[in-house]
Amino acid sequence: MMVEREKDEGEAMAVNGPGKEEGEAEAAAAPAATGEKGEGERNDGERDEGEERKEEEEAEEKKDKVEPEEWSEIRLAIAELSPISRRGGKLCSSPPTLPFLGLSHLLLRLLNKIGPTMAVLRLDVQRNIERLQELYLQDPSKYSTLTAMVEKEADDGTVRKADSCARAILWLTRSMDFTVALLQRLEEEEKEEGSDQQSLAQLVEAAYMVSLKPWHGWISSAACKIALKLIPERAIFVGWLMGENQSYSLLKVEIEKLVQLLQPFLDDIHSMLAKFRLDRLKST
C-alpha cells in the first residue's frame, strides 16, 4: 500500500536560538536584574537588545526553513526520483517498482487538480496502480522492478492481456509522458515574453496530441475531447501546482528539474517494454 510522503518532523520544529552563556539560565527564570542596585534598568535594556537580536536571527533561520517545509506534487516527484538517479540522469538499475508507484499516485493528484474532466483518465490510472500493487505485494522482493513483473507475465503467456500488469505499466508510463509534455509547455511558454498565453485547455490538448492521442482509439479520443471542454483556468491550475509560500520562478526551476529526472526514467521503461514488443499497443 502506497503512503504519501509526510513532512519531516525535524523540518517542522521551531529553530532553537543560540545557547545561553553561564548565568543566563537563572536570569531567564527570574527576570529581575542581577547587577547592583541602580544598574537594573541598564541591564534590562541590554537584555532586551540581546533578545531582539536573537529573535531576528531566529526569524532569518525560520525563513530559510520555509522552502523545505512546503511540499507539492512536483517536489514529491523530485524526491521520488532523486535517489534512483545518477550523473547524466541515467538510472542505476532496472526501473524500480516502488518509485514508479509513488509517481503514479502523484499523477493521480495532478489529474485531480486539472478537474473532473479528467475522470476517465484518472479512473484508468487508479485501476492500473491497483493492479501493480496487487502483484507487488505478493512478493515485494521478487517484484521490486518493473522488468520482473513483465517477465513473469511473459513466462505465463498473459503479458498482452487487457488486465495484465504489463499493460498497466505501459499506460501509466504514457500518462506520465502526458504529464511531462504538459509541464514543459506550461514552463516554456512563460519564457516567451509578450506572447499571448494559451489557456490550460489548449496546453492540455497539445500535450495530449503528442503523448496519448497516437495510442488512443476513437472511443478514448472522443472521451478526452469532451473532457477538454471543462478544464479550469490556467492561473488556478498554476496556483495549485505552486502550493503555499512558493514563487512562480521557483516553480519553473522545479519543473525543469523534474523533467530532467523523469524523462530518462520514462525512456528506460519504454525501452524495457519495447524488448517485449509491448510499446506499440493501442486502446480502443
Q: What is the CA radius of gyration of the chain?
A: 26
The answer to whether residues 111 and 122 touch, using CB atoms and an 8 Å cutoff, is yes
- Structural domain includes residue 100: yes
Domain assignment present for 185: yes
Q: What is the pTM of this model?
A: 0.72
Q: Is residue 45 part of a domain?
A: no
CA proximity to 189, closest of 206, 166, 169, 164: 206
- What letter would DSSP give residue 90? -
Task: For residue 203, give the nearest of 215, 219, 187 by alpha carbon.
Answer: 187
Mean pLDDT of 239-265: 86
55, part of any domain:
no
List b or e across 132-153, with b for residues whose CB sees 16 or more CB atoms inside 10 angstroms.
bbebbeeeeeebbbbbbbbbbb
Report residue 91's pLDDT band, with 50, 70 and 90 as the boundaries.
low
Least confident segment among 24-28, 140-144, 243-247: 24-28
More confident of the two residues 12 and 101:
101
Domain of 253, CATH number, reads 1.10.3520.10
Q: Residue 69 pLDDT more than 60?
A: no
The CB density around residue 188, as the number of other CB atoms within 10 Å, is: 12
Count of domains observed in the chain: 1
d(CA 145, CA 165): 12
pLDDT at 61: 60
The verdict on residue 1 lying in a domain is no
Mean pLDDT of the region 194-208: 83
pLDDT score, position 191: 59
Q: Which of 41-45, 205-209, 261-265 has the lowest mean pLDDT?
A: 41-45
pLDDT tier for residue 267 given thresholds of 50, 70 and 90: very high
Q: Residue 190: pLDDT above 70?
A: no
Three cell numbers, residue 248: 512562480
What's the average model confidence in pLDDT over 93-97?
A: 85
Mean pLDDT value of segment 30-38:
43
Is 37 part of a structural domain of the chain?
A: no
- pLDDT given at position 50: 66
d(CA 100, CA 169): 9
DSSP string, 226-275: HHGGGPPPHHHHHHHHH-TT--HHHHHHHHHHHHHHHHHHHHHHHHHHHH
Decide if 255 is inside a domain.
yes
For residues 170 and 281, the answer to whether their CB atoms sit within 8 Å is: yes
> Which grid cell sits at 195?
506572447
Residue 257 to residue 102: CA distance in whole angstroms: 18
Alpha helices in the chain (DSSP H): 9-12, 24-29, 40-69, 73-81, 97-114, 119-138, 146-156, 165-189, 200-211, 218-227, 234-242, 248-275
Q: Is residue 224 part of a domain?
A: yes
The count of C-alpha atoms lying within 13 angstroms of the C-alpha of 136, restricted to the half-sphere facing its C-beta, is 21
pLDDT tens digit sequence for 123-155: 889 999 999 999 999 999 999 999 999 999 999
In percent, how much of the chain has pLDDT > 70?
Answer: 69
For residue 115, the enclosing domain spans 94-275
Q: Which residue has the cell 531566529?
A: 58
Distance CA 60, CA 15 (A): 10
